[in-house]
Amino acid sequence: MVIQGFTHDVVVVGASVAGCAAAILFARSGLTVALVERDPDPAAYKRLCTHYIQSSALPVLERLGLDRAIEACGGVRNRLDLHTRWGWIREGEAAPGHPGHGYNLRRSRLDPLLRARAATTPGIELLAGHTATGLGREGGRVAWLSVRDRQGSERTLRGRLHVGADGRASPVARLAGIEARQTENARFFYYAAYRGLDPNGGRSRMWMGEAGISYTFPNEDGLTIAATTLPKALLPDFKADPEAALARTLAALPDGPNLTAAERVGPVMGFVDMPNQGRAAAVPGLALVGDAALSVDPVWGTGCAFALRSAEWLVAATADALLARGPVDRALRSYARRHRRTLAGHAWHIASYARGRRWWLPERIMFEAAALDPHHAGRLFAYASRNIGLTEFMAPTALARAAATVLRTRLAGRRRRLGPRIEAV
């Protein structure tokens, strides 16, 4: 089947975080965009989410003009207090050149906000209530997508570029034959929102252990998201009463919150089996962004930041070629390289922890050093917020400095214990 002429410069499927961000940035570059969304409700939102936007995405939010809108909605600037077996580690001011904060904002506010911004951006045609049903290739590249509305009417959209921003299951990736690569997640994840928890000065808190991770993230309207991830061997007991199990798990943590003294708002939700998953970020004529390209263990709160950043990378790589009406596939390869270069280390590290392993020696050194010294704490938070990559965080020189900090502190403590004992004569 050959479809003559282009209907739009770019066809984006999925009007959530990644899709709306990409559509807005493409349209602001002077391109026409079809933004396809299967849900007809403008207030639709993703329910299973940590509702945490890491600071690495702040420049994208500022570029979109959404930082002020998020704060107007009550979004909380996030800073983290992290507990490991070596004690509490407090996130301070960001290093020069790194964004100062991210945001905690529930998706019930974030998704409609983004969709409304996209719907009113000149150059975007929002097709709500439409589902991608088919995909065609010409000359070995994706050349068009067919969509169907709720009444069964079909429409063919032909773009110079097509974008799958349709989530982890990604019907667009399936239609294109892009296989997902999965690795086991040996843990399950549950969370709920509460009103009346100790706000901790508006700071987020996370407890990291070898068995699992728990956290409390303050959000808008006085709500706090409380969550935990634990080994699947504990799942049967947890599922018997998730609310009580969540409260019991967090109460047992050092300085842990008392969920039973707070009001639960909404259901206790979770993932009982969510493998880490990745796909090729681009093939000729088609790019994947957000969860369609990479979806990892949700406890790390990376999804929104990865979605926003991948959308920005795609536009940066392809907009000029699209405006020039030139070949796009070389630009798509550039996008795929940047996506892989920036996120592959994070994805690998997250997937390795999800297998249920114990801390590696370099991790133990970095955690202990961060608990002892603000410099090392700053580097740990720069990595955790995805402002630096794994190779920079675990660089041999950085690891050596962290080990020296740990060794000096341990030797100093030993000298104090073994100091001279003076007796009266």
Which DSSP string corresponds to 49-118?
S--EE-GGGHHHHHHHTHHHHHHHTTPEEE-EEEEETTEEEE--SPPTTS-S-EEE--HHHHHHHHHHHH
DSSP state of 222: G
What is the reported pLDDT for 200? 82
- Among candidate residues 62, 105, 56, the one with its CA nearest the CA of residue 310: 56
In 119-178, DSSP assigns E strands to: 124-128, 131-138, 141-148, 154-157, 159-164
Each residue's pLDDT tens digit in the chain (425 positions)? 344 589 999 999 999 999 999 999 999 999 999 999 999 999 999 998 999 999 999 999 999 999 999 999 999 999 999 999 999 999 998 888 899 899 999 999 999 999 999 999 999 999 999 999 999 999 999 999 999 999 999 999 999 999 999 999 999 999 999 999 999 999 999 999 999 997 788 899 999 999 999 999 999 999 999 999 999 999 999 999 999 999 999 999 999 999 999 999 999 999 999 999 999 999 999 999 999 999 999 999 999 999 999 999 999 999 999 999 989 999 999 999 999 999 999 999 999 999 999 999 999 999 999 999 999 999 999 999 999 999 999 999 999 999 999 999 999 876 554 454 444 43
Distance of CA 134 to the CA centre of its chain: 29
Which SS3 state, helix, strand or coil, does residue 398 take?
helix
Instruction: Tell me the C-alpha distance between 275 and 269, whole Å.
Output: 17
Strand order in the sheet with 33-37: 124-128, 33-37, 8-13, 159-164, 286-288, 282-283
Which SS3 state, helix, strand or coil, does residue 417 take?
helix
Residues 245 and 268 sit within 8 Å (Cβ to Cβ): no
Contacts of 76 (CB under 8 A, 6+ apart): 103, 104, 105, 202, 218, 219, 220
What is the reported pLDDT for 415? 56
Place of tokens 């049903």: 133
Q: Fill in the amino acid letter for 149.
A: D
Which SS3 state, helix, strand or coil, does residue 273 take?
coil
What top-level class would CATH report for the domain 187-271?
A: alpha beta
Instruction: Tell me the C-alpha distance between 12 and 322, whole Å.
Output: 14
- Please state which architecture CATH assigns to domain 8-51+106-182+276-346: 3-Layer(bba) Sandwich (3.50)
Instruction: Tell me the C-alpha distance between 122 and 314, whole Å.
Output: 20
By CB atoms closer than 10 A (0-12, 13-18, 19+), residue 201 is: exposed
pTM: 0.94
